[in-house]
Amino acid sequence: MATVLLEGQWVYRVDDKGRFPLPPKIRNEFGKPWILAFDPVSNAVTLFPLKVWQEKVSKAKNSEQLRLEWYPFQYNLDAQGRLTIPRKLRELGDIGQTITVISVGDRLMLRGRN
């Protein structure tokens, strides 16, 4: 059965260390770990539950090329339910101090609101 995240959009502040809280409804359902990656097609930082990312990699024609193009990072939530967006992904996704987190089926898309 395919993973489907709850529908919604949430606006969050990103702190100086690149952290933001994962929406509680999503956090409670899909806990950990998460993969943050840069989607070169949508030009956005994308957040995958680990299982969804593993399925994407297994279906890729060239998993090494996928990893080279998407810059994936694996993270667990910290004690406050936050994830850290690595500097490389913040730069690629043009993410500043405020983001919109958008549910897109089986993943979350992070859009900068600069």
Residue 70 lies in a domain: yes
Q: Would 4 be classed as within a structural domain?
A: no
**Dist. CA 48–CA 44, nearest whole Å:** 13
pLDDT tens for the 114 residues of the chain, in order = 455 566 788 899 999 999 999 877 777 666 678 999 999 999 999 999 898 899 999 999 999 999 999 999 998 889 898 999 999 999 999 999 999 999 888 889 999 875
CATH of the domain at 17: 3.40.1550.20
Residue 26 lies in a domain: yes
Q: What is the 3-state secondary structure (H, E, C) of 5-19?
A: CCCCEEEEECCCCCE
Q: Which of 89, 61, 60 is nearest to 74 (CA)?
A: 89
> Strands, DSSP E only, in the chain?
9-13, 19-21, 34-39, 44-49, 73-75, 82-84, 98-104, 107-112
Number of domains comprising the chain: 1
pTM of the entire structure?
Answer: 0.83
Its domain, for residue 61, covers 9-112
| Two structure tokens written together for 59 | 């279906």
